[in-house]
Structure 1
Amino acid sequence: MNIAKIISGTILGQDVTTEECEILSSAVTQRSLTKGEVLFDEGTKDETLYLLVSGKLEVVKVLSNDKTIHIDTLKEGSMTGELSFIDGNTHTMRLIAKKECEVLMLHKDAFEELVEKEPMLTYHVMRSILRYSHVMQRKINAKYLEMHRMVQNQYTAQY
């Protein structure tokens, strides 16, 4: 399996060069998940950036032991865990494999070892994370506006 080529096919690969993918390939580890397996749970802390190589991950908010809300489904090439990776805070959602998945994991410690040796690589990785965060923010804003429109229409229809 050519890890550098796999990285280039993810959202991260849009901002890093082929040579940088090669360097990153030596810093990442791989993990396989079976259907229903939890990648990470709300409240856990691992400072790891995940790249979904294959499969689908369901993003859920845990309300109680037996109640969750579906938030999103991540598809191949997606990135997750980026906020915990950057700020070291705990995860706010649970990620569950909807089917068998393969993920690449870049731990913060392995990434920080590259900072002085490969400053442009670290810049490109951080730019990719920021770009992805902007995409997610726009998605959240669009959902909020749609919800607001629906509530407003429902309220207007009642009166």
Structure 2
Amino acid sequence: MTKEDLIIQTLHNSTLTEELRDAEIESLARIIEIKEYKAGDVLVQPGDDRLKNALIILANGEVEANANVGGEQATLHLLQPGDLAGIITFVGGNVAQISAIVVAKTDCKVLLLERSKFESLLNTQPAIVYYVMRGIVRHTHGIVRRMNMQSVEMSNYIHQTHGRY
């Protein structure tokens, strides 16, 4: 599979491009880079600004987002191909707002969409920017919904377990 094919296939599998036509996905693909990581490599971590202005889209492999909870690493989410990471800094947040550590569990390839390249589309193809930002919001909403459901499940479990004593 060529690099271009990998980029196009990954974009088609992502919520990021749900509202884009094929020609718009191809335009977006032209400004995306591919980066490879080995198992155990850290993609993003608190205070790290290597990729501070890039949106990360998992192309293949396994990547997980972890957080430090009570002094131990807890898995927040196992990313699937097409999933996003680095959203906070891509949309203008500060690296100090990063709380998760994103680690490659296996060798993987990710797509990098740099904010400056993405913003260059504002003058020539503003619809792409608009629809991609809508995709980011949908993706983020899905994360929040999943975390809320997990919180409710945990709360129910605690109350059921506590009631048995």
Alignment of 1:86 onto 2:94: no
Q: Distance in 1 between matches of 2:31 and 2:37?
A: 20
3-state SS of paired residue (2:161): helix
Within 5 Å, which residues of 2 pair with 1:1-40?
A: 1=2, 2=5, 3-40=7-44
TM-score norm. by structure 1 comes to 0.90
Greater alpha carbon shift after TM alignment, 79-88 vs 49-58: 79-88
Q: Is the Cα–Cα contact under 8 Å of residues 15 and 138 in structure 2 kept in the other structure?
A: no
For 2:102, which of 82, 88, 95 is the aligned residue? 95
How far did residue 51 of structure 1 move? 0.8
Alignment of 1:48 onto 2:54: yes
How far did residue 63 of structure 1 move? 5.4
How far did residue 98 of structure 1 move? 0.7
Greater alpha carbon shift after TM alignment, 23-32 vs 80-89: 80-89
Q: Is the Cα–Cα contact under 8 Å of residues 17 and 131 in structure 2 kept in the other structure?
A: no
Cα RMSD for the two superposed structures: 1.8
TM-score norm. by structure 2 comes to 0.87
Read off the aligned partner of 1:133 and give its amino acid letter: T
Stretches of structure 2 lacking an aligned partner (at least 5 in a row) = none
Structure 2 residue aligned with 1:70: 75
Q: Is the Cα–Cα contact under 8 Å of residues 5 and 21 in structure 1 kept in the other structure?
A: no
Q: Is the Cα–Cα contact under 8 Å of residues 18 and 135 in structure 2 kept in the other structure?
A: yes
How far did residue 15 of structure 1 move? 2.6
How far did residue 83 of structure 1 move? 2.2
Read off the aligned partner of 1:39 and give its amino acid letter: L
Q: Distance in 1 between matches of 2:61 and 2:109?
A: 7
Aligned length: 157
% identity of equivalent residues: 25
Alignment of 1:61 onto 2:57: no
Stretches of structure 1 lacking an aligned partner (at least 5 in a row) = none
Q: Distance in 2 between matches of 1:145 and 1:38?
A: 30
Read off the aligned partner of 1:71 and give its amino acid letter: L
CA displacement 1:77-134 (0-9 Å, x = unmatched): 2111122211322222111111110000011111111112111100110010011111
Structure 2 residue aligned with 1:116: 123
